[in-house]
Amino acid sequence: MVKNNKLFCVITMLICSCIIFTGCWNYREVEQLAIASGVAVDEKSDGITHLTIEVVNIGRDGKATYEPKYIESDGYTFFEAARKAVTKEGKKIYWSHAKVVIISEEIARKDIAKYLDFLFRDAETREDIWLLISKEKTAGEILQSKGMLKPIVSFQIDDAMRSQKSITRFPFIQLYEFFDRLFYKQVAPILPTINLVEQHGEKSTHVGGTAIFKGEKLIGFLNEEDTKSMLWLRDEVKGGLIILKNAAGTDDNVTLEIYKSKSKITPIVQEGVLKMKVEVDVDVSVGEIMGTSDFISSPGRQKLKAFAEKRVEEDINTMYTLVRDNYNADVFGFGRNIEMKMPDVWKQIKDDWDNFYAELELELNVKVNIRGSATTRVPLKAGK
Amino acid sequence: MNKEKISDIQSVKLMILFIFGSTLVIGTGGEAGRDAWISIFIAVILAIPIYLVYSRILSLFPGKDLFEILELNFGKFFGRIISLPFIWFAFHLGALVLRNFGEFISTVGLPETPKIVPIIIFGLLCIWGAKAGIETLAKCSEYFIIFVVFLLIVFSFLTIPIIDTDNIFPVLGSGYKEIMSGILSAFTFPFGEVVIFMMIFSSLRSKSSTSKVFISALLLSGVTIALLSVRNIMILGPDTIEAVYFPSYFAIGRVNIGNFLQRMEIAVTVVFILSGFIKIALCLTATARGVARVIGFDDYKILITPTGLLMVNLARNIYEDIVEMFDWAFKVWPYYAFPFQVILPVLIWIFIELKQRAKNKANTTEVTIDDGSSG
């Protein structure tokens, strides 16, 4: 009898559990979700936020096919526009898999932080999203271009961003790094820019170049060449190429491939003036010689090395003067560097950093080490 | 009355989990910015004398908890009066941790679920744990600590690619005022909260090593918390740590190894649940013991369920929202908790020492006989 009672209790509890405890409070079935892969943010003329959300539409017929769908939505706030998209798709947008946020130039020039607050605050969006500034008229048209290898444009941009190491023509910045920098007053945040290029008659995305911010406002752009020079001053060059036009006085163009690069940046006081000492140490190999000049033998290598060093140095100096004089934006984080290494000096100049930076000199020292010449010992030329 | 016994090593583990409690999720010493870890280290050092005071009080009366000691020394009436603030502190602390848990779950995981749901469920679990007794909790902690330590070590290693050592420099750049308030904040949350253990440590098996238990738990957990603070500062930077509610959760969320090992914030939640369970259950035990002693019950366990349910209510109603919770935790708590954690225990200790000394002087022989019989 006792045993039966126990059994009865257990079964009753099991039945109760089945009824009460199955399912979650706010459960979501996967087919009820529209998985967003990217979003483009524009502003309509009357201060209304216009979102273009790229949603991955997963095919239901046995094979896993997926194609993009675009939902456009307006709202007074980012959140409103995002929520309103539900009425068009009929499904709730699921943000956790979003890879890309593209912001139009117009918005970025006014105040980018306003539009990013939702992404930073919401629990569902992740912090490792790519944030890009559109150089086209609207951000939406970039998202709606045609993907080359992948049908989903956001995924293609994600791939392009991840290949940054071998390209070095745009900064590698994820959403959270941008936030971290935004919090820090004396550093100018930067973001990569994106535009459309024509390929086989179709518009396709292209990531390259840098958008420079001062605080939350976009103040200017850097082209791809200058971006690389800038990355050198941030010690963020991990690969990529150095192109030498008319190398060392010859008619030949030479490509050097970067294997390793290290920039040592230290503030120094010289004759009472604070300067930034930058020592760039690059390991390269000769990747290509478009011509017949001898850059492989010992004296030839010396010549090439000296030329490359001078070229890189010139590039960096030109870019530095441009950024410092035109934008007065400390995109290199020199202020932070001074704070780290000379905290006492920093305390004195902190509040007047902009003016101080306007006259900050660079002491640049580039060292290019040619480590090899790929697989061949001679330039390719016809025999005599 | 009390037949439960726990070994020294179990008490150390219990105490470590208790100190981890909500600290690993909320973080501490944030006032000091990038020097938070220094504040935490100094707070650990400053906590040593206080812990010695706690253990001294306990070891003078082996096998007795704080409430019994108070009654013995201050008389039945005054002893009970002095017990009251400690009971309130244990009760309040339990409710705060419970609320932290509720806010954490509802902020990062289930925003549409009412906060009361996780609070009630977790509260019931803690009532169950406390009812099972301190012996069971100690055995639980032996088991839990494996998971906690494993997760902390593994996930700290996984963060290596995203740490930026520059973030902790310049060392000592925040200014002494900030560091001092960081020390106070780290001292009162979590190290000083160990005062709760005075109310439950009648169960220690050996008598001589109370101080060893306190100090080793303090050093182990203190160093861990400081190192995790260094980790978080290196990953997030002081500004972001200040901007987000749960720094550890954000820091682990940034881990992304080859697009494969990613989205592992849940590990932080596991650590919080395991250590938070121990913390709340111990607060509950301490409260129930105190109440039982004050109203003269023999068995404290029948009081655990009502106390726990009240704690759930307090946790539900104590704050309006998460903003108020964090304001309170960082701005008010240090000053509120300090008397319970330092001033009262030290006063009690001085009183007891003086009394012991007077007793010793008055009748040396009697005391030695006493010692012999109680040993």
CA distance B248 to B233: 10
CB A253 within 8 A of CB A247: yes
Question: What is the pLDDT averaged over residues A81-104?
Answer: 84
> What pLDDT, on a 0 to 100 scale, did the predictor assign at position B290?
92
> What pLDDT, on a 0 to 100 scale, did the predictor assign at position B216?
92
Is B200 within 8 Å of chain A by CB?
no
For residue A165, what are the contacts with CB-CB under 8 A and spacing of at least 6? Answer: A172, A238, A239, A240
Question: What is the pLDDT averaged over residues A143-167?
Answer: 80
Positive or negative, the CA dihedral B149, B153, B159, B165 is positive
Name the residue of chain B whose CA is nearest to A174's CA: B254
Is B260 within 8 Å of chain A by CB?
no
Q: Which among A24, A127, A339 has CB closest to B253? A: A127
CA distance, residue B304 to nearest chain A CA (Å): 24
Lowest mean pLDDT among A18-32, A174-188, A247-261, B164-178: A18-32
> What pLDDT, on a 0 to 100 scale, did the predictor assign at position B206?
63
Three-state secondary structure along chain B? CCCCCECHHHHHHHHHHHHHCCHHHHCCCHHHHHHHHHHHHHHHHHHHHHHHHHHHHHHHCCCCCHHHHHHHHHHHHHHHHHHHHHHHHHHHHHHHHHHHHHHHHHHHCCCCCCCHHHHHHHHHHHHHHHHHCHHHHHHHHHHHHHHHHHHHHHHHHHCHHHCCHHHHCCCCCCCHHHHHHHHHHHHHCCHHHHHHHHHCHHHECCCCCHHHHHHHHHHHHHHHHHHHHHHHHHHHHHHHHHHCCCHHHHHHHCCEECCCEECCCHHHHHHHHHHHHHHHHHHHHHHHHHHHHHHCCCCHHHHHHHHHHHHHHHHHHCCCCHHHHHHHHHHHHHHHHHHHHHHHHHHHHHHHHHHHHHHHHHCHHHHHHHHHHHC
CA distance, residue B221 to nearest chain A CA (Å): 29
A176–B240 C-beta distance less than 8 A: yes
Question: What is the pLDDT averaged over residues B96-117?
Answer: 86
What are the tens digits of pLDDT across the range B198-229? Answer: 888 776 666 667 888 889 999 999 999 999 99
CA distance, residue B240 to nearest chain A CA (Å): 6
Name the residue of chain A whose CA is nearest to B109's CA: A123
CA distance B244 to B251: 10
> What pLDDT, on a 0 to 100 scale, did the predictor assign at position A161?
84
% pLDDT > 70, chain B = 94
Taking 80 as the threshold, does the pLDDT of residue B355 lie above it? yes
> What pLDDT, on a 0 to 100 scale, did the predictor assign at position A24?
66
Taking 50 as the threshold, does the pLDDT of residue B182 lie above it? yes
What are the tens digits of pLDDT across the range A24-54? Answer: 666 667 777 788 888 898 888 778 888 888 8
Taking 90 as the threshold, does the pLDDT of residue B347 lie above it? yes
A183–B237 C-beta distance less than 8 A: yes
Q: What are the residues facing A130 on neighbouring strands?
A: A100, A174
What's the mean pLDDT when you consider all of chain A? 83
Q: Which among A26, A180, A346 has CB closest to B240? A: A180
* Alpha-carbon torsion, ordered A100, A106, A111, A116, to 10 deg: -20
Residue among B107, B163, B239 with most chain A CBs within 10 A, to mutate: B239
Residue among A20, A24, A25, A186 with most chain B CBs within 10 A, to mutate: A25
Pull the structure tokens for residue B143.
């088991």
What are the tens digits of pLDDT across the range A311-334? Answer: 888 888 888 888 888 888 888 888
A26–B113 C-beta distance less than 8 A: yes
Q: What is the ipTM of this complex?
A: 0.72
B239–A184 C-beta distance less than 8 A: yes
Taking 90 as the threshold, does the pLDDT of residue B323 lie above it? no
CA distance A160 to A207: 7
For tokens 């009824």, name the residue: A19
Q: Which among B112, B256, B262 has CB closest to A25? A: B112
> What pLDDT, on a 0 to 100 scale, did the predictor assign at position B19?
92
What are the tens digits of pLDDT across the range A219-231? Answer: 888 888 888 888 8
Is B108 within 8 Å of chain A by CB?
yes
φ/ψ bin of A271: left (φ > 0), alpha (ψ from -120 to 50), beta (otherwise)? left
Residues of A in contact with B111 (CB under 8 A): 123
CA distance B5 to B2: 8
> What pLDDT, on a 0 to 100 scale, did the predictor assign at position B72?
87
What's the mean pLDDT when you consider all of chain B? 86
> What pLDDT, on a 0 to 100 scale, did the predictor assign at position B224?
92
CATH superfamily of B8-374: Amino acid/polyamine transporter I (1.20.1740.10)
Taking 60 as the threshold, does the pLDDT of residue B105 lie above it? yes
> What pLDDT, on a 0 to 100 scale, did the predictor assign at position B375?
36
For residue B374, name the pLDDT band (cuts at 50, 70, 90).
very low
pLDDT greater at residue A97 or residue A294: A97
